[in-house]
Amino acid sequence: MNLSNPSRLLWLACLAWAVAACAPGDVGDADRHVAEADPGQGAETPRTAPIDPDLDRAKAAAQAFSGRLRGRLQAAMQAGGPTAAVEVCHAEAPAIADAVMAEHGVRLGRVALPGRHRNAGHVADGWQLATLEAFQQAVLEGASAAEQVSVVREGLPEGVALRLMRGIATEPGCLACHGTQVAPAVRTAIAAHYPDDAATGFAVGDLRGGLWVEVPAAAHTPQEATP
């Protein structure tokens, strides 16, 4: 693979960004209590962890958003090259988010560290900012950015059942458009869509932002896909 090609690097960076915002993996599994064995039994009999519909919904929405965006980036690269993939990053990600929110009955988005946003719509405030700041402090103390996860159930506003956020870490492929030495051609492509970009200067392992999901307390039946 020729990594000296700026266009190729741009696509890799966009793809790495999508992967960085991927499914939260085992988010919340530690929050599920495994039942103890029946005292009358000689050996432990594991039982299925309690159902957690709010957390499951949040995780499913995060997975759906990340998976669809990643798939569109791959398809765009195959069909139209790096230019088409960059356009997906800019134009299609919001539509993908809207569709996932409607289907899963949640609110969802991405936010950047304070003063380090690329998209002005990704500026964090309120609980998102507070959570990111806590993530960043943990990373400064030696924790992994990719392992930062917050699941909040208590003290939420009326109508909100659960809030989830996971950190978005800087991966090697992200450096092409988020690092300290971004190629001129890549800077030009970024500037075309994000003239106020402030999301460069990162190193591998740095926290860049967070992927968040908010689950409403009201019962909601997700939209069924059209056959």
Q: Convert the pLDDT of each residue in 46-70 to its tens digit.
A: 555 567 899 999 999 988 987 898 7
- Grade residue 19 by pLDDT with cuts at 50, 70 and 90: very low
Torsion of CA 149, 111, 197, 79, to 10 degrees: 90
Question: For the chain, how big is the Rg over CA atoms in Å?
Answer: 19
Q: How confident is the model at residue 160 (pLDDT cuts 50, 70, 90)?
A: very high
Q: What pLDDT does 177 receive?
A: 73
Say how far apart CA 127 and CA 213 lie, in whole Å.
12
Half-sphere exposure of 61 (CA within 13 A, CB side): 33
**Looking at residue 83, what is its pLDDT?**
61
Q: Which phi and psi angles does 102 have, rounded to 5°?
A: -65, -40
Mean pLDDT of 100-122: 94
Q: Residue 86: what pLDDT?
A: 64
CB 222 within 8 A of CB 105: yes
> The whole model's pTM is what?
0.72
The larger pLDDT score, comparing residue 67 to residue 117, is at 117
Q: Which tokens is 163 given?
A: 């809030």
Distance CA(23)–CA(74), nearest Å, equals: 17
| pLDDT, tens digit, 9 for 90 and up, residues 163-214 | 999 999 988 767 767 789 877 877 888 889 889 989 889 999 999 999 999 9
Calculate the CA 163 to chain-centre distance: 13
DSSP calls for 140-191 = HTT--GGG-EEEE-SSPPTTEEEEEEEEEEPPGGGHHHHSSS--HHHHHHHH
Residue with tokens 């965006």: 69
Rounded Cα gap, residues 171 and 144, in angstroms: 12
Does residue 2 have a pLDDT over 80? no
Give the end-to-end CA distance of the chain in Å, rounded to a whole number. Answer: 40
